[in-house]
Amino acid sequence: MKDKVNLGIFGCGSIFRSMHLPSLLKLADKFNIAAAYDTESRAVALTRDSLPRSLKLKFAESPGEILTDPSIDAVAVLTSTSAHVKYTLLALKHKKHVFLEKPAAVLPADVKRIISAEKKYRRFVQVGMVLRYSSFYKELCRIADSQKYGKVLWMNWLETRPFDPMIWRYIDSAKEGDAIIHDKAVHQINLFNRFAGSKAEEVAAFGGQYLINPRTYTRVRAFRNEVELKGDSNDNLMAIIKYKNGVKASITVSYVSPHARESRWIIQLEKAKIVAHFETFAKANRSSKRKWKGNPSSIYIFADNRKLPVAWRYPMSYPPDDINLAFYDEYPDEPMHPGSGGQWKEFYETVTRGVKPESSTMVALEDIIVAKAIDDAIKKKKVVKIFR
């Protein structure tokens, strides 16, 4: 087994610089970034500026330099979504394992093409669903899978935030996917699919544009600054997913809230309710012993202890008491996003040991099937049945 994986990079944008590069540098005992390629000279220049002086990174003049280099074991496809399938298929053809940023593709048919290529060339593709590698996700798995509180009945995810200033995500949803559906809600879809315990069969959804004008540029408030934006992506979304086993999941995502981000998940089990706050900026309960620094994630469990009357009053306040706290993590060692280091550790096992990744292309296929159904439901203004 190799001690280090030689990695080629396709795409040197902000996601690479702010999340993947710091993670890979922390895992320097496992990964060597052998070469990088980007079509944009500005992205290359910004990457050069962000590198530590001790790292001499080669920038390739063409994709072929990386693909045909026999010393490179794997590639990371971190490009815009429209280039995902092209680079992934080329890398597999050249017998490279692939780390592929989410979403895997815009259409289910393209994910199926990647799956076929994996089988043909006997290589794996790991899709960058970063949440799946966080301790937050693993604790939710432990609680739900234990069956201590019964099976899942329904789920809800609410997320509000300002605009993401990555303008390319909004311009052409047919090529890049919808900014709300494929780039943001795909995280929630991924987790819904995991905990439902069944495949989705129907979707109803409403979306639209409150702030984006599809014909003229509109100045909107975004993370850290203001951007001029236009495009055909939704900036808000409400959807309901019905699974074959009767579990229902609803999601509300809004990019029209220039206030502190809120990301809250509720999972209703037969005997308890899970309330999870993901990287939520919140103050602790006055009696809490936690300091609540950074961007903490927390999971609370509200079970019926039969000590309270059954009325409209319920054992939950905001912030809740520590007695209900099942999980708390400030992720001090994770660059940018919980799970960002964990996903690369698993990819190392995939490349060196041939271990199939948890965030596989088969998992991604189900995510994109549901994402497309949500997109279709919004555009067709009707409930969409999913046929496989």
pLDDT in tens, the chain (388 residues): 678 999 999 999 989 999 999 999 999 999 999 999 999 999 999 999 988 888 888 999 999 999 999 999 999 999 999 999 999 999 999 999 999 999 999 999 999 999 999 999 999 999 999 999 999 999 999 999 999 999 999 999 999 988 876 777 888 899 999 999 999 999 999 999 999 999 999 999 999 998 887 667 788 877 777 878 788 899 999 999 999 999 999 999 998 887 767 889 999 999 999 999 887 655 556 666 666 666 788 899 988 777 666 555 555 555 667 788 899 888 877 777 889 999 999 999 999 999 999 999 999 999 999 999 999 999 999 999 999 8
Whether the predicted model's global pTM rises above the 0.85 cut:
yes
Q: What pLDDT is attached to residue 236? A: 93
Q: What pLDDT is attached to residue 318? A: 57
Q: What pLDDT is attached to residue 283? A: 59
Q: What pLDDT is attached to residue 336? A: 75
Q: What pLDDT is attached to residue 33? A: 96
Q: What pLDDT is attached to residue 337? A: 84
Q: What pLDDT is attached to residue 12? A: 96
The whole-angstrom separation of Cα 282 and Cα 261 is: 10
| Residue-wise burial string across 71-82, b where 16 or more C-beta atoms lie within 10 A, e elsewhere | ebbbbbbbbbbe
| Residue-wise burial string across 115-140, b where 16 or more C-beta atoms lie within 10 A, e elsewhere | bebbeebebbbbbbbbbbbbbbbebb
Q: What pLDDT is attached to residue 308? A: 61
Beta carbons within 10 angstroms of residue 309's beta carbon: 6
Q: What pLDDT is attached to residue 165? A: 67
| Strand partners for 65 | none
Rg (CA), the chain: 21
Q: What pLDDT is attached to residue 281? A: 53
